[in-house]
Amino acid sequence: MHFPKVLKIKRIAEETPTVKTFIFPWKIDEEVPGQFFMIWNFQDEKPMSISLLDPVKNEIGLSVKIVGPFTSILHRLKEGDQLGLRGPYGRGFQFAGSKILALGGGVGMAPIAAYVEEATRRGLEVDLITAASTKEEILFEDRLKKAGVNVLPSTDDGSHGFCGSGTELAEELLLKTKYDMLVSCGPEIMMKKLFDLSERFHLPAQFSLERWMKCAIGLCGQCCMDDVGWRVCVEGPVFCSHEIRLLSEFGQYNRDASGIIHHF
């Protein structure tokens, strides 16, 4: 669907002081974790990952971190207010193996939450690292524990769970546990470290990347990766480790709305 569907916000969950999840009625069909929607506030449009897929209640959720004018407007909305949704778009996560290690950094936990819930429903065993700077920014811990996920919080300041980065905890787990797949979304510099770990441990991995997106359907070229010309909105946003190996810009830089390179 390439035009927005205007919907009333069914519920709003205040996840942390900076993140809210907007829940909409939506008949779940072929949507998969890792895909995204374009959210239209009748002035502008931005991509947001699916953080909740509930085929029983026929609901989807999109989690939004307040970072600028657009997200500030969204955070002021109330239940019953309207937003336009266009999508879903992109390639989502694949399900393989029987034991998964997942790591979500900050609001990168959004697509990871949807993925680990579905993986658990499919009978996969999941160890999940939910990483944040401090305890109050840890996302979805209680929700995912109730879903049967083994949740391992990690905070930079040591205020909750493991004291240190999520990649440090991941390395500890990889040294003592055999996994079939690694899945991650978060700051790209974090995922680069995790990719290096996956290569070291010869572990297949999937990473959800973020680039500046305008059209979401592969026409504008704004989100192209330099090396191979892959469009993150179409060929991604989820890429497998054998694809990541071809991307020299991964973990190094991205481009802003004007195409100017910014190094991480």
256 or 232, which is more confident: 232
Answer with the one of 45, 71, 89 that is the final residue of a domain: 89
CATH number for position 192 = 3.40.50.80
The whole-model pTM stands at 0.96
DSSP letter (8 states) at residue 101: E
Who contacts 229 (Cβ-Cβ below 8 Å, separation ≥6)? Answer: none
Is residue 233 domain-shared with residue 122, that is, in the same domain? yes
Beta carbons within 10 angstroms of residue 198's beta carbon: 24
Kind plus residue range of the DSSP H or E element containing 25: strand 19-25
Is residue 105 domain-shared with residue 85, that is, in the same domain? no
CATH number for position 33 = 2.40.30.10
Residue 197, helix vs strand vs coil: helix
164 lies in a domain?
Answer: yes
Residue for token pair 């999840």: 21
Mean pLDDT on 28-35: 94
Q: Is the pLDDT assigned to residue 257 strictly greater than 90?
A: no
* Rg, Å, the chain Cα set: 17
Work out the mean pLDDT of the chain and round it to a whole number: 96
Answer with the one of 44, 63, 89 that is the final residue of a domain: 89
pLDDT computed for residue 3 by the predictor: 87
Q: Is the pLDDT assigned to residue 53 strictly greater than 90?
A: yes
For 74-81, the CB contacts below 8 A with 24+ separation are: 74/20, 74/22, 74/39, 74/41, 75/20, 77/9, 77/12, 77/22, 78/9, 78/12, 79/9, 79/10, 79/11, 79/12, 80/8, 80/9, 81/8, 81/9
Q: Could you give the percent of the chain with pLDDT greater than 90? A: 92
Who contacts 82 (Cβ-Cβ below 8 Å, separation ≥6)? Answer: 6, 7, 8, 9
The model's pLDDT over 152-162, given as tens digits with 9 standing for 90+, comes to 999 999 999 99
Is residue 139 domain-shared with residue 57, that is, in the same domain? no
Answer with the one of 66, 89, 112 that is the final residue of a domain: 89
Which residues sit opposite 99 in a β-bridge? 125
Q: Is the pLDDT assigned to residue 21 strictly greater than 80?
A: yes
pLDDT computed for residue 2 by the predictor: 79
How many whole angstroms from its chain centre is CA 60? 14
Tokens encoding 242: 């054998």
Is residue 129 domain-shared with residue 26, that is, in the same domain? no
Is residue 207 domain-shared with residue 122, that is, in the same domain? yes
Domain that holds residue 189: 99-263
pLDDT computed for residue 1 by the predictor: 57
- With beta carbons less than 8 A apart as the criterion, state whether 188 and 264 touch: yes
The model's pLDDT over 202-228, given as tens digits with 9 standing for 90+, comes to 999 999 999 999 999 999 999 999 878
Is residue 58 domain-shared with residue 189, that is, in the same domain? no
User: For the chain, how many structural domains are there in total?
Assistant: 2
The model's pLDDT over 97-117, given as tens digits with 9 standing for 90+, comes to 999 999 999 999 999 999 999
Is residue 139 domain-shared with residue 240, that is, in the same domain? yes
